[in-house]
Amino acid sequence: MQKPKEADLSVKFEIFETEQFAKDLEGTLKAQKEKILIKLQNQVYPQLRENPYFGKNIRKLRDYKPETWRYRISDYRFFYEIDDKAHIVHMISADNRKGSY
């Protein structure tokens, strides 16, 4: 198992939502949209700002180029890439677990 990169924890990461991510949120979440959006703002984004490499619901996806990570909330998966130099987490897509891989 590959050891996660060491993040500079003294600098917080910014969150950037791509257009695809916004479209996925509109199309995928429907019934639970409000609940998921609250979790993203109050739980997921604060955690990713602190350390996007480690957490209970965070996993690095194998064999993805560029390196891609996912955050799990219930049956939904939120995929992101990390720009260490700029300290930005790019939220790239969201999907239901069944269709996400």
| Average pLDDT of the segment spanning 50-66 | 94
pLDDT tens digits, residue range 2-48? 444 555 557 899 999 999 999 998 887 777 888 889 999 999 999 99
**What fold characterizes domain 14-99?**
YaeB-like fold (3.30.2310)
Confidence of residue 55 (pLDDT cuts 50, 70, 90): very high
The helix, strand and coil proportions of the chain, stated in percent and rounded to the nearest 5, come to: 35, 30, 40
Higher pLDDT, 24 or 97: 24
- Residue 101, pLDDT > 90, answer no
- Residue 92, pLDDT > 90, answer yes
How far, in Å, CA of 39 to CA of 59, rounded? 18
